[in-house]
Structure formats: C-alpha cells, structure tokens
Structure 1
Amino acid sequence: MDEQNVTVTLTLDNDEELECEVLTIYSVGEQEYIALLPLTEDGEANEDGEVYIYRYEEIDDEPSLSNIEDDDEYDATAEAFDEWLDEQEFNEMLEDEEE
C-alpha cells in the first residue's frame, strides 16, 4: 500500500504561508497533537527543518490547530513525539534487516 503524504498550509504570525507535511497525529493523555515538518520550495521534506507541534482537534469535522502555551505541556508532547520518532527508526531498521 502506498503512503500518501498529507500536507497543510500554516499561516504564521507575520502572515507568511508555510507548507508542511503532517508527520503524525498522536495523543498525550486525552489531548491530541499534530507534528508538522516544513517543506522546501520544491515541496520536499526539509530534513534540517524544525518540527512544529500544535494541539489538534476536529471541530464540526474540520481540523483545528492551536498553540501550546504551557511549558510542561510542551515538554510532554515533545517527549511523546521523540518516542514516536524512535519507534519509526526502529521499525525501519527491522524492515531493512528483513530485506
């Protein structure tokens, strides 16, 4: 099965638009979060770029993002994202060994 990359366009505080790939949507406690990776001008993943993490919810079937204002909440979400990344790397290593 082919994985299709889902993208979203963020509008930054300075009204600049930034196209991002959705890396994952994950839960910490009862709150969902979304991790976004900015894309280059060519539409490629900016591997050197910073990952943006936002609160995520769907309101009337429409996605809604909001900033994380609390440092403790951000630390918990960043740690959960790091664990997700580690899991992805581990799964890739297993797949490479099977080939």
Structure 2
Amino acid sequence: MSEHNHDCNCNHDDCNCGCHNDEAVTVTLTLDNDEVVECAVLTIYEADEREYIALLPLNEDGENEDGDVFIYRYKEVDGEPTLENIEDDDEYEVAADAFDEWLDEQDFDALDDEE
C-alpha cells in the first residue's frame, strides 16, 4: 500500500484504499481459526474519533460469495497498518453504522454519476 489517493472520500489523510485505482488494494488476514482470507479494502473511515477499515473477503476467483464485510479498528504504528478486533458491542455498532452511511453515500454518488 504505497500509492496515495486523496479523492476517494474515505476520510483517511494518507488514503491507500484504492477506491479509484484500477487495481484494488488487498490484504491477507489470518482468522482466529487459522483460515487465511484475501480481502479487498473497501474503505478506511472515521467514526467516534477512531479509524476503521472495511474489508471484503474474496474467494480464489477474487469474488465475494456471501456479501460479508469485515470491520476492524485501524491504526498505523510506525507507518505500518495495524488491524485490531472490535471487542465492544457498542463500539462495533458505531463502526457498522458509519460504514452503512458510507455505503449509502456510495450508492447516492453512483446515482449522481448516471445522470
């Protein structure tokens, strides 16, 4: 994640999310059950003064099969992206609501582009 794209509306100052790049930025996660999952970065966004990242898990063909989205707390530590599990239900609700708002904005923006 080295390119900087500041036009994607993800609200991250050093945006690397690839929203407008032809090539999607992906990350590889190792889940608690040791399953390795490749995920596309949908957006990095702020909610309640914290940053979060929304990831779209992909299958071997680079497609999302079930519509699931993973949301993690996002931080940069010494210039390296770090993901943290969200353990608190209230915090997760805030992060999920903010992601839903981002999704709604994307749908609205897509409609504007069609006109």
TM-score by shorter chain over 0.5: yes
Partner SS state of residue 33, structure 2: coil
Structure 1 residue 29, shift from structure 2 partner:
2.2
Which aligned pairs between 1:6-45 and structure 2 lie closer than 5 A? 6-44=25-63
Name the one with the larger strand percent: 1
Gaps of 5+ in 1: none
**Identity across matched positions, percent:** 68
Q: Distance in 1 between matches of 2:34 and 2:112?
A: 42
CA deviations over 1:68-93 (Å, ceiling 9, x no partner): 01111000110000000000000001
Larger Rg: 1
Gaps of 5+ in 2: 1-19
Work out which of the residue numbers 55, 79, 82 in structure 1 matches 2:100: 82
Alignment CA distance shift 1:64-1:2 (3 Å): closer
Paired letter, 2:39: C
Indicate the RMSD between aligned Cα atoms, in angstroms. 1.3
Moved over 3 A (4+): none
Which residue is 1:66 aligned to? 84
CA deviations over 1:13-64 (Å, ceiling 9, x no partner): 11110000000000012210000000121113x1633100000000000110
Q: Distance in 2 between matches of 1:13 and 1:2?
A: 31
Name the one with the larger helix percent: 1
The alignment's TM-score, normalised by the length of structure 2, stands at 0.78
Equivalenced residue count is: 96
